[in-house]
Structures are given as structure tokens and as C-alpha cells.
Amino acid sequence: MVQEAFDCSEREYAAFATRHQPILLAVARNICGRGASDSEDLVQDVLLRALLKWDKLQDWAEPARRAWLVRVLHNRFLDRCRRRGTETAQAVNLGNVHKLFEDPEAPDPELWECVTEAELRDAVSSLTPNLRRTFELHAQGLRHAEIGQRLGAPVGTVGTWLFHARHRLRAKLRGLAEDRRERGRG
């Protein structure tokens, strides 16, 4: 009898997870940007939390379960961002501009010492209005939710805009810095 109840609960959870995984993955991809493995890891983390709380969740109505899943996904995403230091309170300047480029493929930070403050400002001003304003507000220390409120955009959109702003700045400034460093060696 106990085994039958356990099997039934297990099947209910499996159906629940299978039904919600595609939706959660779409939301995760939206807020994580192009990091597919980050999105998948985030969804697995949320589904694991749902499994651990399944004894309570199974008694909830479907809309409440869905809302809980999305809220947990959002909170776990913010926790990961905080751990990675993406929501820093420092303004971007020549002293810390290298933090924009911290990824496994980024060149050594000293490369960014070859970028002038004016070039950094010019690169930021060349961004589209949404990307520029998002980047500037983030550089002032505002969190994604605060930026979203100011710009009237969802948190996931803010994360996407910030990702694209960083990507474009990295592409523009990397070339300038490498050219200047090469000229300095010559």
C-alpha cells in the first residue's frame, strides 16, 4: 500500500516535471542569455528543488505550482549572478574595466590598460539606447530588477540587454586594446 502511494507520487512528479521543463527552459534561456548549459543547469536545480518539496507541492493548484517554479527559477538565477559578481556596486572605470571581460577566453587584464577612458565612453555611447542605458544603470550599481523598473522592461530582458552590451563592448574594445598594445611593442 505504501509502495503504491510512493509509485503514484513518483509518477505524478515525473509528469509534472516533464510538463513544465520546456517552459522553465524557455524562461531560463531568456534570462541567462545564450548560455545553454547555464539554462539547463538552472532548470535542473529548480526541478530538484521541486522534487524535494513535492510532498507539499502536489497538494497545490497548478497555477500556484507554476508560479512557485518560476519564482524559484528567478531567485536561483539571481543567486548565481550574485555569486559570479555580475551585480557589483562598482562603477566601470579604467581600474576595473577588465571585469567586463572576465571569461575563460578573455585576454589578460593588462590588455585593458591599453584602453583610454575616452575610448570606453565612446564605446558605451555607440551602443543602442536600450543597451547603453541598461549598461550605464548596471555600472551605477543597480540590480536587474531595479533597471527593469526604470526602463519598463522585464528582468529577463534586462539580463539579455546587459549580455549584449557587454558582448559588443568587448568586441569593440578588444580590437582597440590589442592594436595599441602591438604598437607599443613595436
HSE-up of residue 119 (Cα within 13 Å, Cβ side)? 17
What is the overall mean pLDDT for the chain?
77
Sort 14 into a burial class: Cβ within 10 Å, 0-12 / 13-18 / 19+.
exposed
SS3 content of the chain, % helix, strand, coil (to 5): 80, 0, 20
pLDDT digits (tens, 9 = 90+) for 16-62: 888 988 888 888 888 877 556 678 888 898 888 888 888 888 888 88
Could you give all domains of the chain from N- to C-terminal order, each with its CATH number?
2-84 (1.10.1740), 97-185 (1.10.10.10)
pLDDT band at 185 (very low <50, low <70, confident <90, very high): low
pTM: predicted TM-score of the whole model, two decimal places: 0.44
| H or E element in which residue 93 lies | none
